[in-house]
Amino acid sequence: MCNLDFIAGKIIPATELPEINKKLSRIGFPNLSSELMEPYSDSSYRLWPTLNFESNVNGGNPTGDLQVGSLLLKSDPNFSQKQAVTIGAGTSLIARHVFAKGFYSGLNLSHSAHYSISSPDNIQQTNAEFCTSKQIQGWDFFDICIDSVSTQKTLSSNSVKNNWIQFASYYTGKENSIVSSKVKLGTENGLYLYDKIKYSYGRTFREGSGSLMEFGLKSSNSNTGLHGYDFNFQSDFLVRKKQYSVNFRYINNYLGPLLGVERKDQTIIGTLSLPLHNKSVLSIGYGTSNSTIDYYDNEYLILNVSFR
């Protein structure tokens, strides 16, 4: 049973047709109101302002001195992290080429620049993703993707590249919900090289509410023994026809020995997203990191306004 079986043989209200067509176009199918079957391409471009609170706007080190066992390393305040409110802008380009029914490639590029209002510091972030997806049978798909995230700050920079394949299955659940089940396998190439596996399960209802659960494992494919796992849960719900979101994430990483002391970090992040009006969303949350090396303990506020 496919994830759109509930519309078979039924009259679709005009108010629901755009959302159904959006889901169809994402996986390479023509709109219900269209007879288009030949290959085609489309693209979209967005530009939006940003307003964020950054807990480490300059990419600096944790505050305080680093003590490992009996060894004490004094820190330089000039290289410590700073908090700041930033303003800026983001832009994105999404392009897609449909080769045939259920077979398409997509490109997603985005860049954002955030400037501190209290110092010369700024954050430049670039994201890129390219995927090719092929329908296997029914509503089962096989994806091959590459993506990268690059972040540049005043005192540090970070770049992560991922290569992965994904098996995705969509079907109709209870109450005419659309259920997705996905398994992702791949590699992460950043500060270290990891092999990764992630499973996700999601449900989306026609009115826009839904939930998503993800669980991932990663392990270094070198002899370092580095490994980690993470769990993510998101719930979208409607209040007076406006969408709210709650997100919870838990991350556990073993990062190997530092000067003879084993480092293990646990991070917990919780956020609530609520609409300010039709064009903007406020996200507020809290994050905490607890490490076996106290120097890396951290608490921070999450606060940003995103514009649609």
**Rg, C-alpha atoms of the chain:** 22
At 36 the pLDDT is 45
Indicate which CATH number applies to the domain containing 192.
2.40.160
Instruction: Please give the pLDDT value at position 26.
Output: 59
Position 246 scores a pLDDT of 96
CA distance 139 to 226: 37
Domain count of the fold of the chain: 1
In this prediction, residue 173 carries a pLDDT of: 81
Per the CB < 8 A criterion, the answer to whether 259 and 69 are in contact is: yes
Question: What pLDDT is attached to residue 39?
Answer: 79
**Distance between CA atoms of 101 and 122, rounded to whole angstroms?**
44
Per the structure, the complete domain to which residue 152 belongs is given by 5-307
Pairwise CA distance, residues 105 & 110, whole Å: 17
pLDDT, residue 33, reads 53
Torsion, Cα 28 34 38 42, to 10 degrees, reads: -60
- Tell me the mean pLDDT per 10 residues along the chain, length 308: 44 57 59 58 91 93 82 84 94 93 92 95 96 90 96 94 95 84 95 92 86 95 85 92 93 88 94 88 95 91 87
Residue 25 pLDDT: 61
Residue position matching structure tokens 């944790």: 62
Contacts of 263 by beta carbon, 8 Å cutoff, 6+ apart: 254, 255, 256, 257, 291, 292, 293, 296
How confident is the model at residue 279, as a pLDDT?
Answer: 80
Query: What pLDDT score was predicted for residue 266?
Result: 96
What is the pLDDT, as a whole number, of residue 1? 36
Which of 51, 66, 255, 56 is closest to 156 using CA atoms? 56
CA distance 238 to 4: 22
Structure tokens at 267: 């991070």
